[in-house]
Amino acid sequence: MTNKIKISVVGAAGRMGSQIMDRALDSELFQLVGAIEANGSSHIGKDVSTIIGGDKTGIIITDNALEVVISSDAVIDFSSPLSTVSICELTAQARKVHVIGTTGFNAKQEEQILAAARHATIIKSGNMSLGVNALLGTVELLSNSLDNSWDIEISDAHHRDKVDSPSGTALDLAEAAALGRSVNLDSVKDISRNGNNLKRKKGDIGITSIRGGSIVGDHSVIFAGDGERIVVSHFAENRNVFVKGALKSAEWGIKKGPGLFSAKDVLGF
């Protein structure tokens, strides 16, 4: 393929960043053109091969995000909320595709991302797995089909080093359930039951988080009715599922104009 999609990776030294770079270097569809790390990182100035192994690539890890964004067709970003918002400003100015797998944004940061989407093509998901996004569509459909006499509980399990809780995926699942019921998530979200305060309110969407070991990502949604339950789940066995979803999202975004999308849009939900 002569005209490859030029991508750069933000958070290049992270678990996801390194795997995306490795996959892109072997791809017939993508060309890795840049790798970004935060100012002060010990990886700055080194070839990406020092992270992913193998021969030198000539691609040097940098903190000069503007230069890298300009040279890219799409930016894939698994970094931190502050870093992602900063990159959003650049992708908006340059009218680029920005795939965001970062989680843990506050309300103001979400507004900044939405503002950037007026000019950039932003595909943002708490989980880039195509399977998880199929689950999101399924949860929305189930929630729409069942009335609020069915209790909804979401279980969210990740490795011990994950810093945000609930995960972006758990919140996305809760949002899908709320959308199905045509209610505002903030009015029904329940993540604080503990001790003696366990009784749920009718219509609440509960979220429970587990952190431990090397769990890549397990998510289940329980629809509990009187005398019956429906359980839908997704289990990530390795991070390749997120890599494939992020790259698929970048490819899909090239064909779109500005706007804020999710990986559900990539699947056509």
Instruction: Judge if the upstream peptide bond of residue 166 is cis by omega within 30 degrees of 0.
Output: yes
Helix (H, G, I), strand (E, B) or coil at 259: strand
Q: How far apart are the first and last CA of the chain?
A: 29
Average pLDDT, the chain: 93
pLDDT band at 104 (very low <50, low <70, confident <90, very high): confident
Looking at the chain, the whole-number percentage of residues with pLDDT higher than 90 is 80
- Say how far apart CA 249 and CA 76 lie, in whole Å: 9
CB-facing half-sphere around the CA of 85: CA atoms within 13 A: 14
158 catalytic per annotation: yes
Catalytic residue among 158, 189, 234, 248: 158
Catalytic residue among 4, 6, 162, 244: 162
- Say how far apart CA 4 and CA 77 lie, in whole Å: 19
Helix (H, G, I), strand (E, B) or coil at 223: strand
- Give the CATH H-level superfamily of domain 5-124+239-267: NAD(P)-binding Rossmann-like Domain (3.40.50.720)
- Give the CATH H-level superfamily of domain 130-236: Dihydrodipicolinate Reductase; domain 2 (3.30.360.10)
Residue 195 has pLDDT above 80, yes or no: no
pLDDT band at 109 (very low <50, low <70, confident <90, very high): very high
Q: Which two tokens stand for residue 99?
A: 């795939």
Q: Which two tokens stand for residue 105?
A: 């944004």
pLDDT band at 1 (very low <50, low <70, confident <90, very high): very low
- Say how far apart CA 87 and CA 98 lie, in whole Å: 9
162 catalytic per annotation: yes
Helix axes 240-253, 15-25, angle to 10 degrees: 60
For 13-29, what is the mean pLDDT?
94
Could you state, in order of their start, the residue ranges of all structural domains in the chain? Answer: 5-124+239-267, 130-236
Residue 223 has pLDDT above 50, yes or no: yes
- Beta-bridge partners for 223: 152, 230
Pairing of strands 228-236, 217-225: antiparallel
pLDDT (tens digit, 9 = 90+) per residue, 163-179? Answer: 888 988 899 899 999 99
